[in-house]
Structure 1
Amino acid sequence: MRTPPLLVCCGLATLDVVQVVDHVPAPDEKLVAGDLDVSFGGPAANAAATAVALGVPAVLVTALGAGPVADLVRAGLVAAGVEVVDLLAGRPGSPAVSTVLVTRSTGERAVVSVNATGAGDLRGAADAVVDQVLARATAVLVDGHHLGAARVVAAAAHTRGIPVLLDGGSWKPGLEALIAHVDHAVLSADLAFPGVAGDGVLDAVAELGPGFVAQSAGGGPVRIRATSADGVRTSSVLQPPDVPASEVVDTLGAGDVLHGATAAALARGVDVRAALAEGVLRASESVRHRGALGWASGPRGSSTVRPSR
């Protein structure tokens, strides 16, 4: 009998304050936003919620703590069906607040956030829960935030033969040590490997251990490096479906949807290339809707004010 799928995501959860504007303000300029949305965000959090929306149960290992912002984020995650394992449970804490400006005409977004810089070293907390968290896991996603905890979870999963996917949004000091425990890495177009440029980024990441490395390019082709068991490396390209600029509502969270849908497919036992193809299709659809999860919960272009989340 096949094991029921369960995705474990380890990484960042934030409170996102998203405002839709006609343009990003210039210095000293004040704007009136057309729409406001307040909800949880963060790569791992959005990936977990994406998996749940696709019918794959998900556990999010993150750092929230106790406080009003943490309560808002936790409530939103629970409402989305995500099980939360809080590495700061019982301690004061406040997730990062991300300020997001979405340009109405293009769907492009500008984001300001402190990310996970204030959470501290969470390796001990992760060690205490990792066996329980991975007991039923069929895939793991790490987003490069909370690096100490992510290394504990990824290393334990790798040892157990559970596939580990990296959401490589940006390079962070120490990321190479995490990548050593990763089976599949899907990188954003913005990831800058130190001292490496262009296609060399894919090969540099592959040298650190992952057998499958891909890099997205917005709506452009996804480049892939795959290394066989005997060390032969091949290159290929995955072409996303065309999304006309006139249909792009919001690019916020599209990368998180890509990684979450890919990880959900891996959790169901799908081959990594086919899983990535599923992720690309979901991400391409997501930009036609408002927010990271608009494709799953509302009509195209809808936006709501959700301060209770």
Structure 2
Amino acid sequence: MIYNGIFLGLTTVDIIHYVPRFPGVNEKLKNERLLSYAGGPATNAAVAFAGLGNTSTLITGIGNHPGGVYIKNELSDWGVDVKDYTSQPERPPIMASIIVDLSNGNRMVVYSNTDTRRLKRDASNETLLENKDILMLDGHYMEQAVLVAEKARTLHIPIVLDGGSWKEGEEALLPFIDFAICSADFFPPECNDQEAVIRFLQNHGIQKIAITRGADPVVVVDKSEKTEIPVMDVKPMDTLGAGDIFHGAFCHFILQHDYLTSIARAAEIASLSCTSLGTRSWIEQERFI
């Protein structure tokens, strides 16, 4: 079955250098490979959702800069319908420079400031939600995210939060969230550990919570029940975007499976994505799909 997903959040131009090791201070190091993709949490999730055979709509801000045109075309090639609502169309898109250590798959990321980026108000147009099966938000463009979440709730569309890191004003979004899938770096105000994060989210009405921890088991909370789901043991080549891919895969599986199964299947896809370079290669390997 083909599902229709809508994703609202950040889009970047990712320029990825693959090196045998991280460079030292003041060192020049020749890369072994260079890739470039559209990136960002919601964007990579939208690509993953489309890669699993669905239709993806992405609400984001990109603009008319040549770099923006490039990533719009790249996303179209992967089956993502981009709705560009930037309020600053002449500004360059958000750029991210990424270095991946080929010896272990670890990466370093430097990116341009996202704080001043805004979307037009009509990015929350209710018609964008017509015939959609699921909504995913990454916490960026908070004003529009809250408006879209409010409308999705009235339409009984399940809402997934990618909690990569805490964003200012995010507490306004939490009452609309059905599934909060957070990284180990997600710390709301006055939360210093995992248990505090879970309590905080539960106090805001979220009953289904997952915390991903890299290669360690995923902590999964369903109301009062807490469990851990093991992560597939793989030799990582590139961990870039694995969390984003997890979210996109979860949006696919939760529309056909129960909660725990969906987390486990999403973790499998995310792990397999780490065994190849870049955030797209796993899609081209049919056995992963």
Q: Provide TM-score, normalisation by structure 2.
A: 0.93
1:30 equivalent in structure 2? 28
Amino acid at match of 2:7: C
Provide the rounded CA distance (Å) in 1 between the counterparts of 2:162 and 2:77.
24
Secondary structure at 1:205's aligned position in 2?
helix
Range 147-156 or range 268-277, more displaced: 268-277
- Aligned-residue offset at 1:224: 1.6
1:222 and 2:218 aligned: yes
Preserved CA contact (<8 Å) 1:126 1:152? no
Amino acid at match of 2:177: V
**Percent of pairs identical after alignment?**
32
1:294 and 2:281 aligned: yes
2:71 equivalent in structure 1? 73
State the Cα deviation string for residues 188-223 of structure 1 (Å, max 9, x = none): 111122221222212212221222011011011111
**Residue 279 of structure 1, aligned match among 266, 270, 280:** 266
Provide the rounded CA distance (Å) in 2 between the counterparts of 1:5 and 1:297.
20
Preserved CA contact (<8 Å) 2:85 2:120? no
Amino acid at match of 2:266: G
**Residue 158 of structure 1, aligned match among 153, 158, 181:** 153
Gap change, CA 1:94 and 1:149, over 3 Å in 2 = farther
2:9 equivalent in structure 1? 11
State the Cα deviation string for residues 92-148 of structure 1 (Å, max 9, x = none): 23321111000010000111113532322x361323x2x111001100000111111
1:178 equivalent in structure 2? 173
Provide the rounded CA distance (Å) in 2 between the counterparts of 1:272 and 1:114.
35
1:239 and 2:230 aligned: yes
Secondary structure at 2:36's aligned position in 1?
strand
- Aligned-residue offset at 1:270: 3.0
**Residue 252 of structure 2, aligned match among 243, 264, 267:** 264
Provide the rounded CA distance (Å) in 2 between the counterparts of 1:274 and 1:37.
33
Preserved CA contact (<8 Å) 2:86 2:120? no
Preserved CA contact (<8 Å) 1:256 1:292? no
Provide the rounded CA distance (Å) in 1 between the counterparts of 2:285 and 2:35.
13
**Residue 99 of structure 1, aligned match among 87, 93, 97:** 97
1:255 equivalent in structure 2? 243
- Aligned-residue offset at 1:22: 2.3
Amino acid at match of 1:79: D
Provide the rounded CA distance (Å) in 2 between the counterparts of 1:187 and 1:90.
30
**Residue 185 of structure 2, aligned match among 181, 190, 212:** 190
Unaligned runs of 5+ in 2: none
State the Cα deviation string for residues 235-269 of structure 1 (Å, max 9, x = none): 111112222xxx21100011011000001223x34
Number of equivalent positions: 285
Amino acid at match of 1:68: P
Preserved CA contact (<8 Å) 1:203 1:225? no
Preserved CA contact (<8 Å) 1:154 1:181? yes
Gap change, CA 1:123 and 1:225, over 3 Å in 2 = farther
Question: RMSD between aligned alpha carbons?
Answer: 1.8
Secondary structure at 1:213's aligned position in 2?
strand
Provide the rounded CA distance (Å) in 2 between the counterparts of 1:265 and 1:172.
27
State the Cα deviation string for residues 30-61 of structure 1 (Å, max 9, x = none): 11111100111111111001011101111001
Amino acid at match of 1:50: A
Provide the rounded CA distance (Å) in 1 between the counterparts of 2:155 and 2:259.
18
Secondary structure at 2:54's aligned position in 1?
coil
Preserved CA contact (<8 Å) 1:10 1:44? yes
Provide the rounded CA distance (Å) in 2 between the counterparts of 1:185 and 1:150.
15
Range 58-67 or range 290-299, more displaced: 290-299
Gap change, CA 1:94 and 1:264, over 3 Å in 2 = farther
Gap change, CA 1:59 and 1:89, over 3 Å in 2 = farther
- Aligned-residue offset at 1:89: 7.6
**Residue 39 of structure 2, aligned match among 23, 38, 41:** 41
Secondary structure at 1:31's aligned position in 2?
coil
